[in-house]
Amino acid sequence: MKTIKFLILSVMVLFGTVNVYAQNAAATKPTIIFVHGIWADGSSWTSQILALQAKGYPVISVQNPITSLADDVAATKRAIDQAKGNVILVGHSWGGFVITQAGNNPKVTGLVYVAALVPDEGETLPTLSAKGPAVTLSNYFEPVNGFVYLSKEGVKTVFAQDLSAKQQDLIYATQTPASQQVFGDKSGVPAWKTKPSWYILAKSDKAINPELERFMAKRANAKTTEIEASHVVMVSHPKEVLEIIEAAANFKK
């Protein structure tokens, strides 16, 4: 009888230890914070959010107002403050400007740029874009009361050309327009100069020229992966993007 009680006690202790270990392991996972770009919203990361949550990662998807760089950085900083422990920032397009600034927070341990802009200090969206070959994105701008929308044809032609018609319509319907102010906002001291960085380059990007993406990724000394995709590579190639995010989350210096 004593032997049976000892075995039961041993099993209980073992399972208790395993449970505590599992809880501690989950607690050590960094929070993944997603930062969308112009003409997108937080739902553009749905595939990655669901997959990461299933693996026990805490996830926050910021809803940028895109009223100014300062406003978007403030929204992202609130998410960083909300997070428990370390943070990986993932930015798409204009979101690259945002994570470049917000990434200076000491809780941030890595930056993942997804077909994103990677500014240096003092650069604006137009001055950085001028460092690469021109694109026709602005041909599809639709200004409304100080904000810039992207036309349905623009979504189909230069933004998300490798998605289905239903996906394109969803992006058009849920887009967050940009205040005209953001095009003149200057970037500050970049976090990529001190934080490990990854870059996912969209080889068929018609919103940001792939040559500009290569230039920015190289300048930031980012670990770069090239994918044959449109600007919204996180939607058209969700698994590949997820793999890079997980690599950043598990990176050890």
Confidence check: pLDDT of 117 > 80: yes
d(CA 123, CA 125): 7
Residues 134-163 have pLDDT tens digits of: 999 999 999 999 999 999 999 999 999 999
pTM: 0.89
Closest CA to 188 of 117, 106, 121, 118: 121
Q: Tell me, what's the pLDDT at 50?
A: 98
Q: Is the pLDDT of residue 101 over 60?
A: yes
Digit-coded pLDDT (tens) for 179-231: 999 999 999 999 999 999 999 999 999 999 999 999 999 999 999 999 999 99
Are 151 and 143 in contact by the 8 Å Cβ rule? The answer is no
What is the predicted pLDDT for the residue at 64? 95
Q: What are phi and psi of 112, to 5 degrees?
A: -120, 115
Q: How confident is the model at residue 253 (pLDDT cuts 50, 70, 90)?
A: confident
- Over residues 55-79, the mean pLDDT reads 98
- The two tokens of residue 91 are 């930015």
